[in-house]
Amino acid sequence: MASYNLLLLPGDGIGPEVMAEVEKLVRWFTKTGIARFETEKDLVGGCAYDAHGVAITDAAMDRAQAADAVLFGAVGGPKWDKVPYEHRPEAGLLRLRKDLGLFANLRPAICYPALADASSLKRELVEGLDIVIVRELTGGVYFGEPKEIVTLENGEKRAVDTQLYTTHEIERIARVAFELAKVRRNKVSSAEKRNVMRTGVLWNEVVTRVHKEEYPDVELEHVLADNCGMQLVRNPKQYDVIVTDNLFGDILSDVAAMLTGSLGMLPSASLGAEDPATGKRKALYEPVHGSAPDIAGKGLANPIAMIGSFAMALRYSFGLVKEADMLEKAIANVLDSGLRTKDIAGPGVNAVGTGEVGDAIVKEM
């Protein structure tokens, strides 16, 4: 039986609750003998700060480096609003992304048919929606230097962030987008602000060249990031794969996720480069939703995004494609059966708890 190393980082808020449901599936896999997952667990975010004074320890980073994949819950909450900037909960996530070299963030925005009415958009605009945002995750304004606040002579402060992209950073994320489009609907939309930003000019230039030289058969369009935000609201189905930088990707993927009405349902994958020697790539999987401190600890959270993230891990990190399909089908079946957590219950439907949804999915398997 194949054996894999999985690091679980539940984090804060509803993170531990939704991770517990994935652990049920891990046990199911071991029991059925399909695959064995050796799991380790560690702290990240606010809970790591409370325990160790940092958002993630070096030891946890070492474990992440050694793991075949990392499953990440969520971080943050009002409790840590006042911790020093470099130790804020998000710093743990950012360090994981950067140090593991997870430059490609895949964020599907799928509208589950059973949930189309939960969208704030009209049903016909989102029914059947299936797009992926490919977000660059280790560059741009998130990591560029200088990044500082200085006090000027006149007593004022001046804050600086630096948006920075080099050719190869754009090339490799463009390739991820084109490869993905090839197995989907064959269309890439590249979003930037070339009319204002030099990084947008370079982005546009490099994506255009990679397209011409390596993927001439994929349809490519360029769209200004502000217009992309508009178009996502106007007619999201015009898109297939959207490739964009770290900051635009942050906002546009949140807008796209919200369109689906299925925010508590959306998984994401953050992937590194393939190691030419082993064919392996570092990877972290996390739900698109946040730590939702308001409902944490109450057993109300929807575990489907977290479980869907595990399905993505099966697919991308462990090559268990059939099993990933199976798990995604199990999720869909449970939804079809009418079982819902509160966030997607809709009027008149009796909502069930986090654990019940997880149990039902295991049972479907």
d(C-alpha 89, C-alpha 276), whole Å = 33
Q: Which range, of 45-53, 89-97, 273-281, 334-342, touches ligand IPM by CB under 6 A? A: 89-97
Q: Using CB under 6 A, which of 205, 217, 219, 226 touches ligand IPM?
A: 226
Q: Which range, of 47-55, 86-94, 143-151, 344-352, touches ligand IPM by CB under 6 A? A: 86-94
Nearest CA to 223 among 202, 244, 209?
Answer: 244
CA angle, corner 345, sides to 133 and 251, nearest 5?
25
Is 117 a binding residue for ligand IPM by CB under 6 A? The answer is no
Residue ranges that bind a copy of itself, judged by CB under 8 A: 76, 85, 88, 90, 94, 120-122, 125, 141-142, 144, 147-149, 152, 156-168, 193, 195-199, 201-203, 225-227, 229-230, 232-235, 247-248, 250-252, 254-255, 257-259, 263
Q: Quote the crossing angle between the two packed helices 58-66 and 89-99, to the nearest 10°.
A: 40
Q: Which is nearer to ligand IPM, 36 or 194 (CB)?
A: 194
Establish whether 193 is a catalytic residue.
Answer: yes
Neighbours of 242 (CB within 10 A): 30
Q: Give the DSSP letter of residue 281.
A: E
Q: Does residue 78 have a known ligand-binding role?
A: yes
CB of 250 to ligand IPM, least distance (A): 5
Q: Which is nearer to a copy of itself, 94 or 351 (CB)?
A: 94
| Residue found by looking up tokens 């966030």 in the block | 343
Nearest residue by C-beta to ligand IPM?
A: 90
- Of the residues 4, 12, 165, 193, only one is catalytic, namely 193
Is 130 a binding residue for ligand IPM by CB under 6 A? The answer is no
Is 198 a binding residue for ligand IPM by CB under 6 A? The answer is no
Q: Which of helix, strand or coil describes residue 155?
A: coil
CA angle, corner 95, sides to 269 and 327, nearest 5?
20
Q: Which does 247 bind (CB under 5 to 8 A by kind): a copy of itself, ligand IPM, none?
A: a copy of itself
For β-strands 281-287 and 69-74, DSSP reports them as parallel
Q: Which does 35 bind (CB under 5 to 8 A by kind): ligand IPM, a copy of itself, none?
A: none
Q: Which of helix, strand or coil describes residue 7?
A: strand
Nearest CA to 9 among 53, 52, 57, 50?
Answer: 57
- Of the residues 12, 240, 245, 250, only one is catalytic, namely 250
d(C-alpha 109, C-alpha 262), whole Å = 8
d(C-alpha 16, C-alpha 203), whole Å = 38
CB of 98 to ligand IPM, least distance (A): 11
- Of the residues 4, 112, 142, 239, only one is catalytic, namely 142
> Contact positions toward ligand IPM, by CB under 6 A?
90, 93-94, 195-196, 226, 250
